[in-house]
Amino acid sequence: MIVAYVPMTIADLAQRLVAAADASVRWKLVWEFLEEYRWEGLERQATLLTAEPAPTGDQRWDVLLAAIAEHLTAQRDEAPPSWSRSRFLVTPWFPSSLPSKRMEALALAPAAFRKHGVYLSARDLEAA
C-alpha cells in the first residue's frame, strides 16, 4: 500500500511536543516542521498554520508555536492566525543558556518572536 506524504501542521507539532519530554527532541521536531513548511507551496503553507495547537503543557512552547506561526505568515505578508494573537510570555524566554547565543537572540530575534517574548535568533530558524 502506498501512503501519500502529508506535511506536519503546527497542531501536529504541538501533539508531538507533548509526546517528547526531552528538549533536544522537541527542538528537532520544531526544525522538522520548519523544513516541511519550506518545501510546501504557498497555498499549502497557509493550511499548515490554521488549526490552533492544543496546549503542550509548557507555556513557553505554546508561545513559541504562536511566534512561529506569526513569523511565517508575516513572511508571506499575511495576517497571523487568530489563535496566535493571545499567546505571550510575561517573562522573556531565552531557549539557549549560552551567553553568546542569548546576546545573538537579543540582536537577531525576528519581530514576531520578540513580540511574543521568545528570544531565538533568526540564524537558528534559518539553520533549521
SS3 call for 118 = strand
In angstroms, how far apart are the furthest CA atoms of the chain?
Answer: 50
Which of 66, 74, 69 is closest to 116 using CA atoms?
66
pLDDT at 80 over 80: yes
Q: Is the pLDDT of residue 29 over 90?
A: yes
Task: Please report, for residues 38, 66, 116, 126, the alpha-carbon distance to residue 93 in angstroms, rounded to integers and kept in the order given.
Answer: 25, 14, 9, 19
pLDDT of 126 strictly over 90: no
Asked if 13 and 30 touch (Cβ cutoff 8 Å), the reply is yes
DSSP state of 124: H
Lowest mean pLDDT among 4-8, 58-62, 121-125: 121-125
